[in-house]
A and B are shown apart, each in its own frame.
Chain A
Amino acid sequence: MRRKPHLLKDPIQERHLFRTRAIVAGVVAVLLLLLLAMRMAFLQVTSHSHFTTLSHNNRVSIQPIAPIRGLIFDRNGVVLAENLPAFSLEIVPERVDDMDATLAAVSTLIEVSQDDRDRFREELKRRRRFEEIPLRFRLTDEEVAAVAVNRHRLPGVEIKSRLARHYPMGPLTSHVVGYVGRISEDELNAIDASNYSATNHIGKVGVERSYEEVLHGTVGYQQVETNARGRILRVLERTLPTPGKNLWLNIDVHAQRAAAEAFGEERGALVAVDPRDGGVVALVSMPGFDPNAFVNGISTKEYRALMNDPDQPLFNRALRGRYPPGSTTKPFVGLAGLESGTIRPEDRIFCPGWYQLKGDDHRYRDWKKHGHGWTDLNKGVVESCDVFFYDLAHKLGIDALSDYLMRFGFGEVTGIDIIGESRGLMPSREWKRRALQQAWYPGETLIAGIGQGFVLATPLQLAANTATLASHGRGLEPRVVREIEDPLESVRTPVVATAREPLPVHSEENWQHIIDAMIEVVHGVRGTARRIAAGITYQVAGKTGTAQVVGIAQDAKYVEEELEKRLRDHALFLGFAPADRPQLAVSVIVENGGSGGAVASPVARRVMDAYILGNREAITHE
């Protein structure tokens, strides 16, 4: 196995050779160890302070800077939403050793509700450890002082001054401006998280929600060097946020206030649209609520109280309330009759106080028990004769009726620039088959002809449709926002209302005939809204309506007083003014108000006065 060495070995020489090599190896090893030592000296001595900084900070953190939310003004420059500095108590989790103890200590200094705690715990899970998390908002000066004095024993607790949204008009504009609130889990998933990384609030309803992207702006960043405890040592780089844009609304606070005052304690809604540009001049839903309560998290108790309030102050009746439009539908049905050639202005029928279909025993009653006698279209509108419109609806048939009214906007969204409007309902054969799996009965056509039965409309729809009527078929999608202002350049860009598909006009005279009848409703001696004509300096074209809340049994005597107030009819009015050159179309509904002429029309008059005459009282902040 072992080979024989073929050459003679020389042990001395080999030892010598090895010794030389070993010395070289030793020298190289020592030199390399010296190299390591030099490297260490470089790291630990020369660059020591550099690495110490890096070690202490161990991160250069990037902090977002929240953009300032855009302001909201009414058409005259009255502030509807602004940002006011407010103190909040915030906690940086990473600097707190014992969170429970800290919360307990803070609770002894200032009041911290269970809601505050719950919300804080929720955010604690979501946010990063070095981000400050608000515990309490809107500290009073006394509370700020109490915390400040004790700050030394509360590491990680800070008093921050932040801008908080404030609505100086309070309930007056609550349903149109809406409010912002703290960003919810669902909203967080829907937004660009990085753009909202410094933002705590987001628009929840109204203009605040619908124009969220415009109002919010773009987040800025600063790159900061922090020490190990997270305190900022210096700002390395800064990208300024782009502030949100200011909104100038079409809303006129004077008109808004006039409406609110006219409603008084009543529930209901008013929408006023300028037919010339589609601008929503007033949008009122009564009662309103204080939007400021929502900004920094409303307490569960307060919220429950609002939710359980039988008056439903949070419900936006103007946008979402679905009411039978009742007799206010009559001008539109009448116009359908004229334009389709079904009737002529001079055609008359006899109204005995009821209407009967052939082969049907059912008597469709008129509101006036003994009837209106001989009635033409003009009288039908002015005195609101039901029988005339039963007959007209029957002649038109549900298909033509439904089709024409839908073109006017019944049963269709208006396209207003606020999220959340209801579609209402304009029934048709097809709808009934689809929704109720039932055939259409002829009697239902009659009921639809006076805006009852299945027909449902929102106050917003009624105002928009009235504006379309006032402009002879050229409808516009209502716009709450008038202009968008870039705060940096003070340039205002108008928001132009989109035109709806115009209604076909067969004859301008047909339109004028209906409008004349509506003028007579207000200014005629027998008009149902004649009471508002007193002392008026412009012409109003209008129509009253009364919508039944409960169906009335055949031949039962209708005694208003016997009904509980909540079961009373809703009072409606729609109209526009001045009749010859319309500036404002208004719809009013007073819930359980009774008669439209008596209760609803005066509200409209007040708003028209405010807007058209500039009849303004001094605006005081709430």
Chain B
Amino acid sequence: MSESSHRGLLRHIHLDLPLLVGLLLLAGAGLVVLYSAGGEEIDLVWRQVMRLGIAFAVMAVVAQIPPDTLRRWSPWLFSAGLAMLVAVLVIGEMGKGAQRWLDLGLFRFQPSELMKVAVPMMLAWYLADSPLPPPAKRTVIAGVLFLVPVLLIAKQPDLGTSLLIGTAGAFVLLFAGLRWRVVLFGALTLIPAAFALWHYGMHPYQRNRVLTFLNPERDPLGAGYHIIQSKIAIGSGGMYGKGWLNGTQSHLEFLPERHTDFIFAVFGEEFGFSAVLLLLALYAYVVLRCLYIAVQAQDTFSRLLAGSLTMTFFVYLFVNIGMVSGLLPVVGLPLPLISYGGSSMVTVMAAFGILMSVHTHRKLIYS
């Protein structure tokens, strides 16, 4: 059959067709919205196409690396990432204010982006070594392993990324079979941890964001403005939307950051609830396909890594849409594959590359 031969061809170059189709659809939808959200600037769209091209290329390259190789790289990648995080912090201390990137001469590199992949790899590597579920001692060590980079990134300060990496680590532990009562206990300790974070760990602007999230009208012209205007944009879209390029909220510039973090509001305003359902379904499809890949994986390391990367992607999109629709506080996370922007997209696509690698490098001895 032509379809199976086609699939066979893609398999041969280690790409997963169902996942690729989902990703391309998302990226395509993103370009369409971006044209409208970016004020109908075609240059902006071309730049995004370039980025997507690079990101998909990175995905294709990563997909060629067998999971075994990835596993062997894990501790080295993690150590390098950690070293760079410390370097960024030290340079930041010497300079002024927040710093998130290393200037490597040719380009700027954000170590925290590397850690989004390196942390789940490290934990998967560490936990796959012993029988699952992991014993208490290993659990604690694993916890320390991912909390160190989380804290380092939170100190940059980049709360969004640090929470995301924390989630990635936590998902590895969950998939490794952490007992539910331990999970419950961990969730309960989050409450005092949140208190501590509030009083000692947060910058005033971050505290403001949380307060404003709890009551957007508190600061209708300042931080609350984002949420209020975004809700108005989505709500006024209705069932079928105002039509492409016809979103008044975005085109009259009521909506801030409309082509980056708040692009989903433009989507909701112009295409309406029906299209929003389609988009959510598309995301659900991608997430479920990835989970399927994880379940099908042949070894523990691959499973844990694939599962964690999938759920991190899910958290990404859930937090973004939740924030834009006023369910969650405003944390600066883009909507994966749709928001305009650079470095995080490469990381996301690299993760999909890993997933494809896991699915396509199968040892024939198994099954």
**Interface on A for B, CB 8 Å cutoff?**
2-3, 5-11, 14-15, 17-19, 21-22, 25-26, 29-30, 32-33, 35-37, 39-41, 43-45, 47-48, 50-52, 54-56, 58, 228
Contact = CB atoms under 8 A, between A and B. Distances in A.
B129 A3 contact: yes
Interface residues of B, number: 48
B323 to A, nearest CB: 11
Most chain A beta carbons < 10 A, residue from B177, B235, B268: B235
B174 interface: yes
Given A41-B273, A43-B325, A7 B131 contact: yes
Contact of B234 (A10, A35, A44): A44
A56 B284 CA distance: 33
A25 B129 contact: no
A95 B134 CA distance: 69
Contact of A22 (B175, B231, B232, B236): B175
Nearest to A47: B235
A36 B325 contact: yes
B311 A29 contact: yes
B233 interface: yes
A19 to B, nearest CB: 5
B235 A43 contact: yes
Given A29-B284, A33-B283, A55 B327 contact: no
Contact of A44 (B171, B273, B291, B311): B273
B235 A17 contact: no
Contact of A37 (B129, B133, B280, B314): B280
A45 B234 CA distance: 10
A48 B175 contact: no
Contact of A228 (B248, B321, B327): B248
Contacts of A55: 232-233, 235-236, 248-249
B235 A22 contact: no
A269 B294 CA distance: 103
A25 B327 contact: no
Contacts of B239: 44-45, 48
Contact of A18 (B129, B235, B303, B318): B303
Nearest to B241: A44
Contacts of B238: 44-45, 48, 52
Interface in B264-289: 268, 272-273, 276-277, 280, 283-284, 287-288
Given A44-B237, A44-B238, A36 B318 contact: yes
B130 A40 contact: no
Contacts of A45: 238-239, 273
A8 B325 CA distance: 48
Given A3-B129, A44-B272, A39 B325 contact: yes
Interface in B296-328: 300, 303-304, 307, 310-311, 314, 318, 321-322, 325-327
B295 interface: yes
A36 B291 contact: no
Contacts of A17: 132-133, 177
B110 to A, nearest CB: 27
Contact of B276 (A8, A9, A19, A40): A40
Nearest to B242: A55
A225 B273 CA distance: 27
Given A17-B177, A228-B248, A58 B280 contact: no
A35 B174 CA distance: 22
Contact of A21 (B268, B277, B307): B307
13 contacts: A5-B129, A9-B132, A18-B132, A18-B294, A18-B307, A26-B291, A36-B325, A37-B277, A40-B268, A43-B231, A43-B325, A44-B238, A52-B238
Contact of B175 (A7, A8, A25, A51): A25
Contact of B300 (A14, A19, A36): A14
B307 A33 contact: no
A5 B325 CA distance: 47
Interface string B208-247: 0000000000000000000000011111111100000000
B170 to A, nearest CB: 12
Given A21-B177, A25-B307, A43 B129 contact: no
B238 to A, nearest CB: 5
A452 B121 CA distance: 107
Given A25-B175, A29-B311, A45-B273, A51 B232 contact: yes
Interface string B339-355: 00000000000000000
Nearest to B132: A14
B300 to A, nearest CB: 6
A402 B175 CA distance: 106
**Residue from the set B236, B268, B294 with the largest chain A CB neighbour count within 10 Å:** B236
B234 A19 contact: no
A46 to B, nearest CB: 9
User: Top 10 nearest A-B pairs by Cβ distance?
Assistant: A51-B235, A55-B236, A44-B273, A43-B235, A51-B236, A48-B238, A17-B177, A9-B131, A7-B131, A52-B236
Contacts of B325: 36, 39-40, 43
Nearest to A44: B273
A6 B295 contact: no
Contact of B273 (A3, A29, A40): A40
B109 interface: no
A25 B291 CA distance: 8
Contacts of B129: 2-3, 5
Contacts of B235: 43-44, 47-48, 50-52, 54-55
Nearest to A52: B236
A26 B231 contact: no
B295 A22 contact: yes
**Max chain A Cβ within 10 angstroms of own Cβ: one of B132, B232, B307, B321:** B232
B22 to A, nearest CB: 14
A8 B252 CA distance: 64
Nearest to A51: B235
Nearest to A14: B132
A14 to B, nearest CB: 5
A36 B321 contact: yes
Given A18-B303, A43-B234, A44-B273, A25 B311 contact: yes
A459 to B, nearest CB: 57
B130 A6 contact: yes
B61 to A, nearest CB: 27
Contacts of B177: 14, 17-18, 21
Given A14-B132, A17-B133, A26-B287, A36 B327 contact: yes
Nearest to B171: A25
A443 B307 CA distance: 113
Nearest to A41: B273
